């Protein structure tokens, strides 16, 4: 927990589960953007900056783009690309995260405005950007950090590899506040029961990714590895 007025690191997430993991670290305030809600995330980040946020980390799971990235792979963003623009992450913080976690690759992360459900979409984005993974928060973090002059970092774990299709039932359950609507998932499954095997695989991979994210968070400790807090 953080107090208003005290300096802290802001963790930008898309899911409540990710936010709970980030908030385990002292000196961290986690905010949840939700299902593709870039405006909501931007507003929450700006509010947190006014209240004492001194650095921002894009934190959570991601879609794999590079063929070699398997579920549970931890990635550290060296840069974020979005709409033809590249944003470099803070080099000191990024290096510190890599040294602390160990075994995580420094990569390019692509920002997207909606979930990538089809493997063909992931393949196309990989070919266009060379990014190893994609998520819906990193470009919001990078753009705002560049605007206001704050350091940012990216820590993401692969939940759905490049070859994996995301079933419609999983997308139907995504809520704007970062929660999951179980009823919507069940309705989608009732309409198309063939989705069940893919949904089970996705749930298993996502669970594996969240365990890896928790491990990274615990290793990084207070402020998720940011050492320059004033």
pLDDT of res. 181: 62
The residue among 209 and 182 whose pLDDT is bigger is: 209
The DSSP code for 90 is P
Contacts of 45 (CB under 8 A, 6+ apart): 10, 12, 31, 53, 56, 140, 141, 144
Three-state DSSP class for residue 93: helix
Least confident of 83-92, 93-102, 167-176: 167-176
pLDDT value at position 3? Answer: 44
pTM of the model: 0.90
Q: What is the pLDDT of residues 20-53, one digit of tens each?
A: 999 999 999 999 986 667 888 999 999 999 999 9
Can you give the pLDDT at residue 123? Answer: 96
Mean pLDDT of the residues in the chain: 89
Residue whose entry in the numeric block shows the structure tokens 């700006």 = 46
Determine if residue 3 is left, alpha or beta; phi over 0 gives left, psi from -120 to 50 gives alpha, anything else beta: beta
Which pLDDT does position 130 carry in this prediction?
Answer: 97
In this prediction, residue 56 carries a pLDDT of 98
pLDDT value, residue 19: 95
List Cβ neighbours of 1 (8 Å cut-off, separation of 6 or more).
23
**Mean of pLDDT values over 83-108:** 95
What contacts 158, CB < 8 A, 6 or more positions away?
61, 62, 63, 64, 69, 70, 71, 72, 73, 75, 133, 209
Pairing of strands 105-111, 28-32: unpaired
Give the pLDDT score at 171: 67
Which position has the higher pLDDT, 169 or 139?
139
For residue 175, pLDDT over 70 is answered with: no
DSSP 152-218: EEEEEEEEE-TTPPPPHHHHHTB-TTS-B-HHHHHHHHHH-GGGHHHHHHHHHHHHHHHHHHHHHHH
Backbone φ and ψ for 70, nearest 5 degrees, come out as -95, 165
Query: In Å, how far from its chain's centre is CA 133?
Result: 10
Compute the average pLDDT of residues 155-184: 76
- Among residues 219, 213, 215, the alpha carbon closest in space to that of 155 is found at 213
Share of the chain above pLDDT 70, in %: 87
Q: Kindly state the tokens that stand for 121.
A: 């979409």
Q: What dihedral angle (degrees, nearest 10) is formed by the CA atoms of 192, 198, 204, 208?
A: -130
Fold of 8-166+207-225: Rossmann fold (3.40.50)
Distance CA 22, CA 207 (A): 16
Q: Where are the domains of the chain?
A: 8-166+207-225
Greater confidence, 107 or 34? 107
Question: Is residue 160's pLDDT more than 50?
Answer: yes
Q: What is the pLDDT of residues 187-205, one digit of tens each?
A: 767 788 887 887 888 889 9
For residue 135, pLDDT beyond 90: yes
Q: Residue 176's pLDDT is what?
A: 65
């Amino acid at each position: 927990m953080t107090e208003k007025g005290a300096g802290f690191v802001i963790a930008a997430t898309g899911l409540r589960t990710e936010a709970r993991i980030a908030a385990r670290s002292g000196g961290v305030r986690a905010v949840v953007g939700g299902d593709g809600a870039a405006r909501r995330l931007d507003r929450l980040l700006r509010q947190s900056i006014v209240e004492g946020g001194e650095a921002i980390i894009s934190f959570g799971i991601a879609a794999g783009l590079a063929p070699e990235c398997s579920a549970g792979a931890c990635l550290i963003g060296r840069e974020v690309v979005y709409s033809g623009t590249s944003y470099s992450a803070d080099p000191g913080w990024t290096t510190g995260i890599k040294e602390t976690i160990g075994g995580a690759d420094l990569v390019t992360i692509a920002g997207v405005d909606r979930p990538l459900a089809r493997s063909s979409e992931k393949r196309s984005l990989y070919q266009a950007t060379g990014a190893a993974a994609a998520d819906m928060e990193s470009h919001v973090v990078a753009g705002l950090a560049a605007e206001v002059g704050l350091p940012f970092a990216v820590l993401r774990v692969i939940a759905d590899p490049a070859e994996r299709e995301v079933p419609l039932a999983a997308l139907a359950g995504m809520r704007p506040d970062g929660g999951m609507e179980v009823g919507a998932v069940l309705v989608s499954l009732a309409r198309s029961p063939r989705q069940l095997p893919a949904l089970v695989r996705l749930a298993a991979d996502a669970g594996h990714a969240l365990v890896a994210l928790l491990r990274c968070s615990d290793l990084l400790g207070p402020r998720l590895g940011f050492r320059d807090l004033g």
